[in-house]
Structure 1
């Protein structure tokens, strides 16, 4: 597979998962964990760079998962929410020598998102004139989503726990909506985790 050297993926794994006992990122999924599953699919995609943003459980995650120093960034302000962590990851990417055409934001707790879907987002982004390609949830649009370079400054300015959805809402006419066919499910509670795990495995 030919990698697209102008696309980077941010894997968001900095949260504390307050609605779930234990460390959500390290919950078993298949033969690995939720985070490793996200990383496997991100790495298998056409994206050239995959960067994980860590926060609340940095030590525990690094003790459990092998991440090279170039493959993650620690956000000391992770308590400020998802938006702050996206800004941290974006800043780290832009401080590198690479120039990216797009940054794809991926959550670690959406285990059904596979590399085929990530590739479809990347392909649609590169083939269209839309500056944002995002996942269609029916009643809203959200991540996984790719943001063109024209939105990098807005990503850097994120501070709240609302992630990038405000950017998507503000530029609705520039958004290409893609259906994930049910793969967009994210896990917020232990009950959801057990239900999805039982159904899928």
Structure 2
């Protein structure tokens, strides 16, 4: 895979979940860096590829669509989003352009990920030609996101059911998974409850005040 190919890989952004643990709020519309989190993540994805950015969303109408106004991303409604994450994966991978050699999968609820993190994972693809998956990891080696899947794995997403989050596809790759260390807990730090958000914002304010 050449560096030219890496620069135009499609990126899938998963944003069809229901934020059930937020008790009425929507975690993907919480503000991060002055933007709704979903828009921030979509802008990150758009900044690192010249390929399409596909955003898996609940069926319209939904407030998340407004947060993407004027962004050149492909909105991909997931008709059966209530089923769980695998419905989003089935739908989004089916919407990929034909002939894509690989695709990056990015969760919308990881607010510490940066453009540089995404680029580091994309650039690592050339370094592990025997791999089928290139996956961001925490600084202590725990696997997380983003994840790049090579095209031979795309078909496996078509039969996913439930809320496994694609773990079955990762398992199919066996040892052919390259972990790419990212700073801190960028690859795994998600915020699912109001308490998570409050704690994260307090941590961030403390870091910025030093």
Q: TM-score when scaled to structure 1?
A: 0.88
CA distance in 2: counterparts of 1:16 and 1:148, whole angstroms: 28
Partner SS state of residue 7, structure 1: coil
Point out 4+ residue stretches in structure 1 off by more than 3 angstroms: 2-6, 67-70, 137-140
Q: Is the 8 A contact 1:5 1:49 kept in 2?
A: no
Once superposed, what is the RMSD of the aligned Cα atoms? 2.4
Q: Which runs of 5+ in 1 are unaligned?
A: none
Per the TM alignment, residue 47 of structure 1 is displaced from its structure 2 partner at its CA by 5.2
Q: Is the 8 A contact 2:7 2:48 kept in 1?
A: no
Q: Provide the aligned length of Structure 1 versus Structure 2.
A: 198
Pair 1:6–1:154, CA change in 2 (3 A): farther
1:59 lines up with 2:89 in the alignment: no
Partner SS state of residue 143, structure 1: strand
- Aligned counterpart, 2:94: 91
Q: Is the 8 A contact 1:11 1:51 kept in 2?
A: yes
- Aligned counterpart, 2:31: 28
CA distance in 2: counterparts of 1:115 and 1:83, whole angstroms: 26
Q: TM-score when scaled to structure 2?
A: 0.84
Q: Which aligned pairs between 1:1-201 and structure 2 lie closer than 5 A?
A: 4=6, 6-21=8-23, 22-46=25-49, 48-55=51-58, 58-66=61-69, 71-93=74-96, 96=97, 98-129=98-129, 130-137=131-138, 140-181=142-183, 182-184=185-187, 185-201=189-205
Q: Which runs of 5+ in 2 are unaligned?
A: 206-210
Choose 1 or 2 for highest CA Rg. Answer: 2
Q: Is the 8 A contact 2:31 2:37 kept in 1?
A: yes
- Determine which structure has the larger strand proportion and give its number: 1
Pair 1:113–1:3, CA change in 2 (3 A): farther
Q: Is the 8 A contact 2:55 2:73 kept in 1?
A: no
Deviations 1:51-105 (A, max 9, x none): 1000167521123431668611100100111111011011111xx4x42111111
